[in-house]
A and B are shown apart, each in its own frame.
Chain A
Amino acid sequence: SQTIHQWPATLVQPVGSPLSLECTVEGTSNPNLYWYRQAAGRGLQLLFYSVGIGQISSEVPQNLSASRPQDRQFILSSKKLLLSDSGFYLCAWGIRDLLNQPQHFGDGTRLSIL
């Protein structure tokens, strides 16, 4: 069966520091991968999605970037964090090339910026 891992589970970072959040998927090949941010327990905002290695689509202008160095690895990064980057970050995967399939979420990283 497929599983998705995110780490770390929680992170506290000072303003201006760099960020790297990692997401890996097991048990499937060629997945679509997604990064979301959720503020205050509501409203999932899609940040990035990827349909293949090195292919990243950005949904909203922001202080973050994403990379997909391997088929089942998705990384969310920032060079200098802002206070507004605080939130709950969720990674998800979906089956590529199949229509109307759900996305499956990891358990997220809670990021606090001080």
Chain B
Amino acid sequence: GENVEQHPSTLSVQEGDSAVIKCTYSDSASNYFPWYKQELGKGPQLIIDIRSNVGEKKDQRIAVTLNKTAKHFSLHITETQPEDSAVYFCAAGSYNQGGKLIFGQGTELSVKP
């Protein structure tokens, strides 16, 4: 079945450094790739998404890249701040799955002051 692999499972960086989280997906029909941030005790919140007709998207300190040939997509956070500490999830979806998303297993990001 469809699968999304996410790495690393934990990531610790110093404040101000960059953080990169990588995902690979198995379903070649996937064409939508959102990223979510989940803080303790809360539901996941959408932070950025990218569609398959775009290779890169940026929103302030957050950027996402997509390589459809290799079935890879990545989240880049620059100038990290302590409030960026959370669990981050990637996901992949396709129009022929009724809006369903397949989620990665999550990355726990810790930004040390």
Does A associate with B in a complex?
Answer: yes
- A interface, CB within 8 angstroms of B: 6, 32, 34, 41-44, 46, 49, 51, 57, 90, 92, 94, 96, 99-108, 110
Return 6 A-B CB contacts under 8 Å, by A number: A44-B89, A49-B98, A99-B31, A99-B32, A101-B99, A103-B99
Cβ A102 vs Cβ B87 within 8 A: no
Shortest CB distance B52–A (Å): 8
**Could you tell me the distance between the alpha carbons of A107 and B34 in the complex, rounded to whole angstroms?**
18
Interface residues of B in 85-113 (CB under 8 A from A): 87, 89, 93, 95, 98-101, 103, 105-106, 108
Question: Nearest residue in A to B35 (C-beta to C-beta)?
Answer: A102
Residues from chain A with a CB closer than 8 A to the CB of B29 are none
Q: Give the number of A-B contacts (CB < 8 Å).
A: 61
Contact of A105 among B44, B51, B100, B106 (CB under 8 A): B44
Q: Is the interface of A mostly helix, strand, loop or mixed?
A: strand
Chain B interface, number of residues (Cβ within 8 angstroms)? 26
Q: A42-B87, A102-B46, A102-B49 are in contact. Are A51 and B105 (CB under 8 A)?
A: no
User: Contact string, B34-52, partner A, CB cutoff 8 A, digits 1/0?
Assistant: 1010101111111001010
Residues from chain B with a CB closer than 8 A to the CB of A43 are 103, 105-106
